Structure 1
Amino acid sequence: MAKNILFVFEGEKTEASIVKNLRKFFIKENTIITCAFCSTIYQIYKEIKEDEDLDTFTLLRERKQNEESLKKYNTSNFAEIYLFFDYDGHDPIASDEKLEKLLNFFDEETEKGKLYISYPMIESLKHFPQRGCFKNLKVKCKENIQYKKIVNANCSRKIIDFNSYNKNTWKWIIREHLKKGNYIVNNSYTYPRDLYSQLDVFNNQRKNYINVNSEVSVLNSFPVFIHDYYGNEKLKKLLK
């Protein structure tokens, strides 16, 4: 079985920069080929709806921006596929019903791929306010609130640059986001006792935040992916 992992991103720069730094300390054991889809997750919906036998790798390779990076590979070269996208609730074609379908479709990394969602965007990774509590941090999600500007104006100066993170920074960020995910799913701001699924996160975001005040509870997908990748107990040891 091939050991390559395919990471699929919405953008070309920020996500790739995060993974490059993260791999200095985690997921170092496999080769990872990054691939920018350069579109929102909702734009994949139409193609999925029209062809549920879709080969994810073929879909990606056929996109112009991926031709060069993927031309040497085929589906059998990748053991796992992970897709990282933003919630993007303000997108005119956004739909929670579409996202639910996509999370059900992309639910296995060794088949179609596994989808991870950041709420509201990838910049949530560093959205730890200098004043206030991360546990209760929420933002509006159905309108364009200029989230990147909000994060850069409010997050701690120590973590504003993704490229500067060291191992201790990553450990802290991963722990805090996992506690936040556990709070969203299980109402307990503690390190989780077990894994929680992307559907668990989405359903609780929808029930307790999106449908209530058109908000999301801020949560990043990369720490949750790391949790799934290593498993609960192994990651707990790595984070000590």
Structure 2
Amino acid sequence: MILFVFEGSKREPRLFEAIKEIFLPREIEPIICTYGCNIYKLYSQIKKYDVFDDKESVDTVSILKDLLISKGDNVLKGINPSDISEIFLFFDYDFHHHSIEDLISDNEHIVEMLKFFDDETTSGKLYINYPMIESIRYTKCLPDNEYFSYTVTREQCKSEDFKNISHSFSHYKSLDHLLLSNNPKESDEKKTAKLSTAKNNWLHLVRMNVGKAAYICVGRDDTHV
């Protein structure tokens, strides 16, 4: 089984359901759990276990199970570490309400966590949404050849919630272009068409983000979206 750990309980699981249906092999058994708080809180909780400097001794599944059960969430109850073959964690960077001093400290923690959670088959593989999950909507009509050039500043996010910024900027006013049909009354033909559209849009986003990463790292986008 593969464990997927999300920060939020609304958008992330809905998006994952589409990704699972479109891209994951049928034989994969995913377990989805929601931590329900930001990455910095998770970091501080894990540090309490005093195993953070020793990858071989950390048991991410058991630690998460304890943390979730303490909050009344039993999704991992009965799950043993040996049941899980891979662990993926998805959290927001979520920096806009922090002071500069807090930001420096948070960045140090993130660097440490990225070094620690760098292997999905052991402690887990950590991915961070910048600045948050809503960035997936920060695009014009897909495919968007200008995607690599879009930026947002910390000051913008402080003065206006990034959720509102992305809503105003985006060509898409919801996440429907990435989601599958959940209407049981919809015809199979319409469901198939929606799946095809969602798959194409996800593939555009993958290529665009690879291109943007290349542009940030080496100054050019060779993906030709």
The reply to whether residue 42 of structure 1 matches residue 29 of structure 2 is: no
Structure 1 unmatched runs, 5+: 193-238
1:84–1:115 CA contact under 8 A, matched in 2: yes
Q: Which amino acid aligns with 1:5?
A: I
Identify which range, 87-96 or 11-20, moves more after superposition: 87-96
Q: 2:60 aligns with which of 41, 56, 64?
A: 56
Identify which range, 126-135 or 21-30, moves more after superposition: 126-135
Q: Cα distance, 1:67 vs. partner?
A: 3.3
Structure 2 unmatched runs, 5+: 181-196
Map of 1:69 onto structure 2: 75
Q: Cα distance, 1:150 vs. partner?
A: 1.1
Distance 1:173 1:158, change over 3 A: farther
What is the rounded CA distance, in whole Å, between the counterparts of 2:222 and 2:109 in structure 1? 31
SS for the counterpart of 1:188 is: coil
Distance 1:80 1:58, change over 3 A: same
What is the rounded CA distance, in whole Å, between the counterparts of 1:66 and 1:190 in structure 2? 48
Map of 1:117 onto structure 2: 128
Identify which range, 59-68 or 108-117, moves more after superposition: 59-68
**Count of aligned residue pairs for this structure pair:** 190
SS for the counterpart of 1:139 is: coil
* TM-score, normalization by structure 1: 0.71
Q: Cα distance, 1:154 vs. partner?
A: 1.5
Q: Which amino acid aligns with 1:20?
A: E
Q: Where do residues 36-185 of structure 1 align in structure 2 (5 Å cutoff)?
A: 36-50=34-48, 51=50, 52=52, 53-62=57-66, 63-64=68-69, 65=71, 67-92=73-98, 94=103, 95-129=106-140, 133-141=146-154, 143-144=157-158, 145-157=160-172, 160-161=175-176, 162-164=178-180, 166-185=198-217
SS for the counterpart of 2:94 is: coil
What is the rounded CA distance, in whole Å, between the counterparts of 2:208 and 2:75 in structure 1? 34
1:36–1:66 CA contact under 8 A, matched in 2: no
